[in-house]
Homo-oligomer: A and B are copies of this chain.
Amino acid sequence: MLSPKNIERLSLYRRILTELKQDGSEFVYSSRLAELSGGNAAQVRRDLMATGYSGNPKLGYSINELILSIDDTLGKSKCCSAILVGVGNLGKALLAYFKNQGAGPAIKGIVDCDKSKIGKKFSGYLCYSIDEIPTLIEETSSRVAILCLPKNEVQEVANKLIKAGIKGFMNFAPIHLDIPDNIFVDYIDMAVSAEKVAYFACRINKNK
């Protein structure tokens, strides 16, 4: 029912709300949330509507209550653990990144194909082999996998992960995964992103 974009924005709003709360605010207007999130006030109201929470026509939204309501909507993601596959440069950076990260799924285990890494610890996590995936996933009850493998290894590993119960991927490898369409994949393609930025940076774009 909610689209990926709705979910993204709700997650974003919650982060902003949490900061506003820390700054001591109690209420916030949709227009302010729009400013802080880079969106439009009408869209903010629409997104928030989807959580079932109603604001006050004079005061705006209660920050506390709104956070709870978004929590409730996204809620199930909290109980959702992740494993990280591929402990190269990027994998290590992501481990550190998500370790200091409150929201979203927590990384519960790491895996690599490289035999030399198996049994070693990274950011406090013991690295397991590909063959141990089913055990690791069962023990951590993970449903999400973060893929930071070289592109020629990803498809095969993804297949194993799906067999072991993974339902969603963040895929940093620059390749499209051929998988059943009840599995969710978010492609994060930094080369493509960089090229896009360069393209628009290198035109004189008067407005927009």
Contact = CB atoms under 8 A, between A and B. Distances in A.
Contact of A15 (B146, B191, B193): B191
Given A76-B202, A205-B184, A189 B12 contact: yes
B144 A201 contact: yes
A194 B207 CA distance: 32
Contacts of A118: none
Complex copy number for this chain: 2
Nearest to A91: B93
A198 B106 CA distance: 10
Contacts of A176: 36-38
Given A77-B198, A167-B200, A184-B200, 13 more contacts: A8-B193, A76-B203, A77-B199, A78-B198, A82-B194, A101-B191, A105-B194, A105-B198, A144-B198, A168-B198, A168-B200, A169-B197, A170-B197
